[in-house]
């Protein structure tokens, strides 16, 4: 097993230490059989951030995070790429994006994600796509926005039908916000873009940029973004509602994991 393969396995489950693997038919298999050989093969075929791009990736990610701290969480959800460049250029605490970082961001936005096994529809055509404040409304006490019209109506109806324990966990996301989440995901998976795009749509491909939103159970924290959400009473109530459907069902054609929390706005 090469270093990357081991690192990616370790990233999937930090509890897996090297000695927990056994060598069989020249393939390392975890002793607890958490992974089948087929899955290990898939991991070996995964695409990673290239070695010579890792430093650029890390510094671009850190710069975007500095912009986020600068503008604040709520504003960052809807920030346009041109605004990010503006803040970077004008505030030395953030610092101008070097050409190589811009090229990398461009690549992450414009490249074809089918090579990573992501088959969803392209939603935003340009990295500079803006979200007009006229079309969105801030949802009090959440730090999130929703698109006016169907998304906002669906959410209000949901709150009425399920009650105050049903919360908005993510609403409108600009291209930049999605880029930031995508880069965080890649980073947490040791540069594995294939794995990242399985649990998060690449920046140009999220329906959060035009209508969809995520819901969760109050006080459930990070579990709201795991399959554990599907075992809550809030989710069971949600499923009964005829006006609500899910974007990413089990084994969906987009190549995205099952996301019971992601509401598809029709």
Our CB check for Zn ion shows the closer of 22 and 266 to be 266
Nearest-approach distance from CB 256 to Zn ion, in angstroms: 9
Nearest-approach distance from CB 102 to Zn ion, in angstroms: 27
Our CB check for Zn ion shows the closer of 177 and 262 to be 262
Cβ burial, residue 184 (10 Å; 0-12/13-18/19+):
middle
What φ, ψ does residue 147 adopt, rounded to 5°?
Answer: -70, 140
Nearest-approach distance from CB 30 to Zn ion, in angstroms: 30
Our CB check for Zn ion shows the closer of 46 and 214 to be 214
Our CB check for Zn ion shows the closer of 81 and 248 to be 248
Residues binding Zn ion (CB under 5 A):
214, 262
Of 264, 234, 225, 232, nearest to 248 by C-alpha is 264
**Residue nearest Zn ion (C-beta atom):** 262
CA distances from 8 to 12, 43, 48, 57, 187 (A): 6, 7, 10, 17, 11
How far is C-alpha 183 from the chain's CA centre? 8
Our CB check for Zn ion shows the closer of 101 and 214 to be 214
Nearest-approach distance from CB 210 to Zn ion, in angstroms: 12
Of 136, 22, 150, nearest to 74 by C-alpha is 136
Nearest-approach distance from CB 127 to Zn ion, in angstroms: 20
Spatial distance between the Cα atoms of 182 and 58, rounded to a whole number of angstroms: 13
């Amino acid at each position: 097993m090469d270093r990357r393969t081991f690192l990616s396995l370790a990233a999937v489950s930090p509890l897996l230490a090297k000695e927990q693997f056994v060598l069989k038919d020249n393939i390392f298999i975890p002793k607890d059989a958490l992974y089948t050989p087929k899955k290990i093969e898939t991991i070996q075929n995964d695409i990673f951030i290239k070695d010579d791009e890792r430093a650029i990736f890390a510094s671009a990610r850190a710069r975007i995070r500095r912009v986020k701290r600068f503008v604040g969480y709520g504003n960052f959800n809807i920030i346009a790429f041109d605004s990010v460049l503006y803040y970077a250029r004008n505030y030395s605490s953030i610092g101008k994006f070097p050409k190589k970082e811009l090229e990398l961001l461009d690549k992450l936005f414009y490249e074809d994600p089918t090579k990573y096994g992501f088959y969803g529809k392209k939603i935003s055509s340009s990295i500079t796509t803006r979200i007009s404040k006229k079309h969105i409304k801030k949802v009090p006490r959440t730090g999130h926005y929703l698109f006016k019209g169907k998304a906002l109506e669906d959410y209000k109806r949901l709150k009425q039908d399920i009650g105050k324990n049903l919360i908005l966990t993510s609403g409108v996301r600009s291209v930049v916000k999605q880029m930031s989440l995508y880069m965080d995901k890649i980073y947490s998976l040791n540069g594995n873009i294939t794995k990242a795009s399985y649990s998060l749509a690449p920046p140009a491909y999220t329906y959060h940029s035009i209508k969809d939103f995520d819901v969760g159970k109050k006080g459930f924290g990070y579990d709201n973004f795991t399959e554990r959400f599907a075992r809550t009473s809030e989710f069971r109530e949600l499923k009964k509602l005829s006006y609500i459907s899910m974007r990413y069902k089990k084994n969906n054609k987009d190549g995205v994991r099952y996301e019971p929390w992601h509401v598809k706005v029709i």
